[in-house]
Chain A
Amino acid sequence: MRPSFFIVFFFSAGILCGFYSLMPSAMNSPALSLYALNFLLFLVGIGIGGNSTAWEMIKRNNTMILLVPLSVIFGTLLGSALLSFCLGEITLRDSLAVVSGFGYYSLSSIMITRLEGESLGVLALLSNIFREISTLILTPFLVKYFGRLAPIASGGATSMDTTLPVIIRFTGKEYGIISIFSGIVLTLAAPLLITFILT
């Protein structure tokens, strides 16, 4: 579970402390070291590997369900690539790296900060938080006009935890399983794609 409120709180507290120089500047240099990132990825891996739902779905060999996260990956990259061409301010590579967080803003922002720099890291944090918030708000609308997979697609990696309750409420229990599975695959895809795009 990713308690969004705490995460935003800590990030904001950090900004305030940094802005008013409340902390010794020596504190921030080694923190985002590669060691910390590798340790975090190890922990994230335990979370993915320890999720029994995912392994059950794989054992049942239901290949059609794999279509869901794959279509989310494809749609996400395609949609943002098209918009980034129109906008022209952000490079294609940066755009793709940012949206490859699939709403998993904590991990994606930390990884992107480490691999590319703070500016893009903050962009990833904001963009992926927006993805979670818009899913929470838009789910009833998305289900009505785009079918029951739509909020799962919109939620991305968050469809396994933070946006799961609202998705189940508007799509039903059987879609809850699909939602969890899609979320897990995207939680795994996020660090892989970000690494692949930025290195």
Chain B
Amino acid sequence: MILILFFLTAGIAVGYFVRKRDGIIKLADNITTGAICLLLFLLGLSVGGNEIIISSFAQLGVQALVLTAGAVSGSVIISYFVYVYAFRRRGK
């Protein structure tokens, strides 16, 4: 856990100091996309070879939909109150 926080914080610090240099930010962005594509390919690879996950894919899909419905409706409802009481009044 501490390692995860360390790397994330180190990245933010580095990003802050190079934020004016578009080239570096762009490069980091591209490497991130590449790394994510590779890692998700590898996740797919081991999921594809895992019969338990493949056979329960439909069930996972339904669970995912339910969680998304909860997450979206919960955040939308709370944001509605913030909008009405904090934002709309200021005429923004």
Contact = CB atoms under 8 A, between A and B. Distances in A.
Q: Do A and B bind each other?
A: yes
Interface of A: 1-3, 6-7, 10-21, 23, 25, 27-28, 31-32, 34, 36-52, 55, 64, 67-68, 71-72, 74-84, 87, 89-90, 95, 98-99, 106-107, 109-110, 113, 118-119, 121-123, 125-128, 130-131, 134-135, 138, 142, 146-150, 152-154, 156, 174, 188, 191-192, 195-196, 199
Given A2-B36, A79-B77, A127-B63, 8 more contacts: A13-B44, A18-B47, A27-B45, A40-B39, A46-B28, A72-B79, A75-B71, A192-B5
B4 to A, nearest CB: 5
A83 B75 CA distance: 13
B8 A45 contact: yes
A79 B19 contact: no
Task: Label chain A's interface by main secondary structure.
Answer: helix
Contact of A72 (B12, B36, B78): B78
A84 B63 CA distance: 9
Given A45-B10, A46-B28, A147-B83, A199 B1 contact: yes
B79 A109 contact: no
Given A45-B12, A195-B1, A146 B76 contact: yes
A127 B5 contact: no
A156 B14 contact: no
Among B4, B24, B49, the most chain A Cβ lie within 10 Å of the Cβ of: B4
